[in-house]
Amino acid sequence: MKLFAPLLCLSLSLPLGASILNEAKCKNLMKQAGEPNLVPAYNKECFIHYGVSDLLSKLPIKIDAFTEITSAIAAKESLTYIYTISAAAPLDNVKVIKKSIRAQVIKGNCAHPMTRKYFLNNDITLKHHYFVKGGSALLKFDVTKSSCEN
């Protein structure tokens, strides 16, 4: 098992329309939705909000032996994943670990068709914030559509 394996895809229910102020309408449209290529800008906030709501109901989500997603935050054009790394994790070479986590997550986000289609191709930024259990920040970075083009 890889240390800090990347989260490739979450089984999120992704809404495809309506105002964030009307979650019932958003859920209904999600059920009726087909496979759109792009989410209209006015739907992004609802799209992100409902995805986070669904994710929060499943937390914590174990990623590997040392890492869990412990929270998520919806914003206007971003989705932030909060990870907690166990205090037992071998963090002896933090610089290498940070580089490895970042590379694995970017590669995973960019390679996953649903993540690309529903988030990155719609200019939704995926923010990844890693904390060591107890609260100290380890690493924060963003994945955008342009991250996949490099």
- Which residue ranges make up each domain of the chain? 23-149
> Who wins on pLDDT, 77 or 2?
77
CATH fold of 23-149 reads: GMP Synthetase; Chain A, domain 3 (3.30.300)
Asked if 51 and 13 touch (Cβ cutoff 8 Å), the reply is yes
107-110-111 Cα angle (round to 5): 80
The alpha carbon of 31 is separated from its chain's Cα centroid by a whole number of angstroms, namely: 21
pLDDT tens string 53-105: 878 889 999 999 999 999 999 888 899 999 999 988 888 888 999 999 999 99
> Who wins on pLDDT, 111 or 19?
111
Q: Which of the 8 DSSP states describes residue 119?
A: T
Residue 52 pLDDT greater than 50, yes or no = yes
Q: Which of the 8 DSSP states describes residue 60?
A: S
> Who wins on pLDDT, 16 or 88?
88
Q: How confident is the model at residue 130 (pLDDT cuts 50, 70, 90)?
A: very high
* pLDDT for position 143: 98
Asked if 135 and 123 touch (Cβ cutoff 8 Å), the reply is no
Residue 3 pLDDT greater than 90, yes or no = no
> Who wins on pLDDT, 73 or 18?
73
